[in-house]
């Protein structure tokens, strides 16, 4: 049992209360949210905006002007990457799908992989070129493929941003090249990066340091990952750089050590060296000063519920998502996890049926409610089986 878990209560909807497990972790409660780092923690972040968050819990470990509207340069491409990954997951495109480039896509300036116009590239090569090399031409080629033109794709980017709760973001293109009314924030950038990291295939490309793009003509372009933390920072497996005169140097990066994943965002650093140094500073601060403990695990049954008129007497139920608590090392943190479930599961029941919820509180305040569902069908007893059961009990 987690040493951070103060107690778990199981409350059925009929009002019966039973203590399933009790583990008391002595000491005073200390909320991480009240310990958000600032300059007094020894961190001197000179960039315009910065943000450090633990990915699973959403605990903010450092924040500086995190909601300020700023140009973020090629970090805009995170949304282009996310939509492309979602298209792949939904089966609307395959890695080997051929995409014909246009003159418009191949003529994009800035960071590029020098695509030829009117030839076929695989979706995989274009996606890898955006993730690794921040290629503007490949970004536009993907946008045109999915929505016909960049403007239509940009509208879709803004719609997805709203769905994710990115209230401080507006996109004007899919590349991050300077454009009127285009801005985002460090906090919003962390949100889209967190979504990207949920796609396992993303790490196939984000962790490559160097590769080669072979064009249909046989010409080759060397790809070098613009995020050099993936090579030099322990645990870093993803992120996105950005750099323009108006935005300065930017970097969103993520690293995982043991069971804790951190996301850091730097916006408006004075130079490239500063963005990498300050991002590494934030990540090191997080890993050295905080630890994470998983309190709810989707892979383990969270409770067992009696079954009425079913072929089994009891059925396991599971939470639909994990919950991780983050605590500053040396501090004590108590959580309550209450399970509010049906008194019995009435057969028949199906996989995915909701049978309750896990309510997670901290300092008496609800911080999360997670649905509890079945992961197996519960079959109803036949008339003969019911009669036989009655006779046996009689």
Q: Which residues are catalytic?
A: 74, 77, 134
350 phi, psi to nearest 5 deg: -120, 160
* Residue bearing tokens 């493929």: 145
- Give residues with Cβ within 8 angstroms of 243, minimum separation 6: 73, 74, 249, 250, 272
DSSP-derived 3-state class of residue 323: strand
- Give residues with Cβ within 8 angstroms of 305, minimum separation 6: 314, 315, 317, 341, 342, 344, 345, 355, 356
CA atoms within 13 A on the CB side of 245: 3
Bridge pairing between strands 314-319 and 335-341: unpaired
H and E: helices and strands count for the chain: 10, 19
Closest among 201, 223, 226 to 210, alpha carbons compared:
223
CA atoms within 13 A on the CB side of 204: 11
Closest among 75, 30, 134 to 264, alpha carbons compared:
75
- Alpha-carbon distance values, 334 to 25, 97, 359, 391 (Å): 7, 51, 14, 50
| Torsion angle (degrees, nearest 10) of CA 352, 355, 360, 364 | 160
- Alpha-carbon distance values, 34 to 38, 116, 327 (Å): 11, 53, 11
DSSP-derived 3-state class of residue 159: helix
Cβ atoms 100, 120 nearer than 8 A? yes
Bridge pairing between strands 60-64 and 49-54: antiparallel
């Amino acid at each position: 049992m987690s040493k951070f878990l103060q107690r778990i209560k199981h409350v059925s909807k009929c009002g019966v209360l039973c203590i399933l497990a009790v583990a008391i972790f002595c000491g005073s409660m200390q909320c991480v949210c009240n310990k958000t780092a600032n300059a007094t923690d020894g961190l001197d972040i000179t960039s315009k905006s910065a943000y450090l968050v633990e990915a699973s819990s959403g605990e903010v470990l450092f924040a500086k002007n995190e909601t300020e509207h700023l140009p973020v340069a090629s970090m805009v491409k995170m949304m282009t990457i996310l939509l492309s990954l979602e298209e792949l997951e939904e089966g609307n495109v395959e890695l080997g799908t051929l995409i014909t480039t246009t003159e418009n896509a191949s003529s994009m300036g800035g960071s590029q992989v020098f695509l030829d116009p009117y030839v076929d590239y695989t979706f995989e090569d274009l996606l890898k070129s955006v993730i690794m090399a921040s290629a503007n031409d490949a970004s536009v080629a993907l946008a045109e493929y999915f929505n016909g033109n960049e403007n239509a794709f940009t509208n879709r980017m803004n719609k997805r941003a709203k769905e994710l709760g990115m209230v401080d973001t507006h996109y004007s293109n899919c590349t991050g090249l300077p454009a009127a009314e285009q801005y985002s924030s460090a906090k919003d950038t962390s949100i889209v990066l967190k979504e990207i990291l949920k796609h396992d295939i993303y790490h196939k490309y984000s962790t490559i340091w160097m590769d080669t793009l072979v064009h249909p003509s046989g010409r080759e372009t060397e790809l070098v990952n613009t995020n050099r933390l993936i090579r030099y920072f322990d645990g870093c497996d993803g992120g996105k750089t950005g750099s323009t005169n108006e935005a300065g140097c930017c970097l969103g990066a993520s690293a995982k050590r043991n069971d804790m994943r951190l996301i850091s965002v730097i916006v408006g650093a004075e130079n490239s060296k500063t963005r990498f140094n300050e991002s590494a500073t934030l990540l090191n601060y997080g890993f050295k000063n905080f630890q994470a403990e998983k309190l709810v695990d989707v892979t383990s049954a969270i409770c067992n519920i009696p079954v009425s008129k079913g072929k089994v007497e009891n059925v396991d139920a599971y939470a639909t998502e994990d919950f991780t608590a983050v605590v500053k090392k040396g501090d004590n943190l108590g959580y309550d996890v209450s399970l509010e479930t049906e008194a019995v599961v009435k057969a028949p029941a199906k996989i995915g049926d909701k049978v309750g919820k896990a309510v997670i509180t901290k300092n008496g305040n609800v911080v999360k409610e997670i649905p509890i569902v079945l992961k197996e069908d519960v079959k109803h007893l036949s008339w003969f089986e019911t009669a036989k059961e009655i006779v046996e009990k009689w």
